[in-house]
Amino acid sequence: MKADEFQLIERAKEGDREALNSLFAQEQKSIFNLMVQLTGDPALADDLTQETFLLAYQNLKKFRLHSSFRTWLSKIALNLFRREYRRKPKHVSICLEEIRIPSEKDIPERIVIKREFQWCILHSLQQHVPTKYRMALVLRDLQNLSYREISEILPWSIAKIKTCIHRGRKILRAHFINGKCKAFAEKDYLCICEGILEL
Amino acid sequence: MNCKEAKALIPEFYDRELNQEISQALGKHLEGCLECQKEYNSFQKIMKVLNKLKTYDLPRDYLKGIKKVKKSNVSLFHKKLSKFIKKND
């Protein structure tokens, strides 16, 4: 933990409002994005982020500085996310349009599905990657945490974390291949988006 | 190193979590094996897809929300989670 973060936490624990604001302000965006990546739903992510900070505020005195502040907040956020998914059924949203692709030398004219790229990534993660794999994958590949940092957030061994990350990636890739995404299927594709042009 | 072993190591190779010796052996295998190269390229593509996910801007300032909530609104779940946080910190 950085020395200035340590000092901010100590001051915030003693009731220093300015320290608390500064501490929370620098983590808000990270926690909100973690929640969007896990839920695929900005409105739900908004509620869960607020709840995370409320809980962190109420429990700050119990934080014993054994991990970084972000890791501690992420642990609270992950617990709220798991509670949310135990009690709520999944909501399936559909977002696509069909477009006609003119024929090329090797490909006859065809109708393909066009999806919005950002929606497609979030939807694929949320609907096709099981929760435990998604949590590990999001922490590693989207939050860029190390295996060790993830083991401080999820109560799993490093070996289990590695397995979950790898299975999550495999399932996600299989979904893009089976969905006939142009980036993966080359000639025989059925689905396109603006995003693949930038890959 | 055979193809089965090489394919299993690709994710850790990408994460740079392999030791130098295994990493070099895998690199050597990839150079001479088209099938494993294809697997590695496909793996890189899915990582590129994930890297394209945009960062969302904050819809509001969560510090303001904290000020508004009174202690009496704390739910049973929050109390349980507070105990969990204390136990697992």
**What pLDDT shows up at residue A193?**
87
pTM of this prediction exceeds 0.90: no
Across the interface, of B45, B71, B86, the residue whose CB is closest to A183 is: B45
- H/E stretch holding A99: strand A97-101
Asked whether the beta carbons of residue B49 and residue A183 sit closer than 8 angstroms, the reply is yes
How deeply is B39 buried, as exposed, middle or buried, from its count of CB atoms within 10 A (0-12, 13-18, 19+)? middle
Asked if B62 lies within 8 A of A66 by C-beta distance, the reply is no
Chain B residue with the nearest C-alpha to that of A80: B81
Could you tell me if residue A22 is inside a domain? yes
Question: Edge-to-edge strand order for the sheet containing A191-192?
Answer: A97-101, A110-114, A191-192
Q: What is the pLDDT of residues B17-59, one digit of tens each?
A: 889 999 999 999 999 999 999 999 999 999 999 999 999 999 8
Contact A55 B82 (CB under 8 A): yes
Q: Do B52 and A59 touch (CB under 8 A)?
A: no
Q: Which of A35, A56, A87 is the C-terminal boundary of a domain?
A: A87
pLDDT in tens, A38-81: 999 899 999 999 999 999 998 998 888 888 899 999 999 999 99
Contact B43 A63 (CB under 8 A): no
Domain CATH code at residue A147: 1.10.10.10
Substitution target from A1, A13, A33, A88 for chain B, most B beta carbons within 10 A? A33
End residue of a domain, out of A87, A118, A134: A87
Domain CATH code at residue A63:
1.10.1740.10
**DSSP 3-state of A90:** coil
- Whole-complex ipTM: 0.82
- Give the gap in angstroms from C-alpha B16 to the nearest C-alpha of chain A: 11
Lowest pLDDT segment from A129-143, A147-161, A179-193 = A179-193
Domain limits for position A17:
3-87
Model confidence at B73: pLDDT above 80 = no
What are A18's two structure tokens? 């300015």
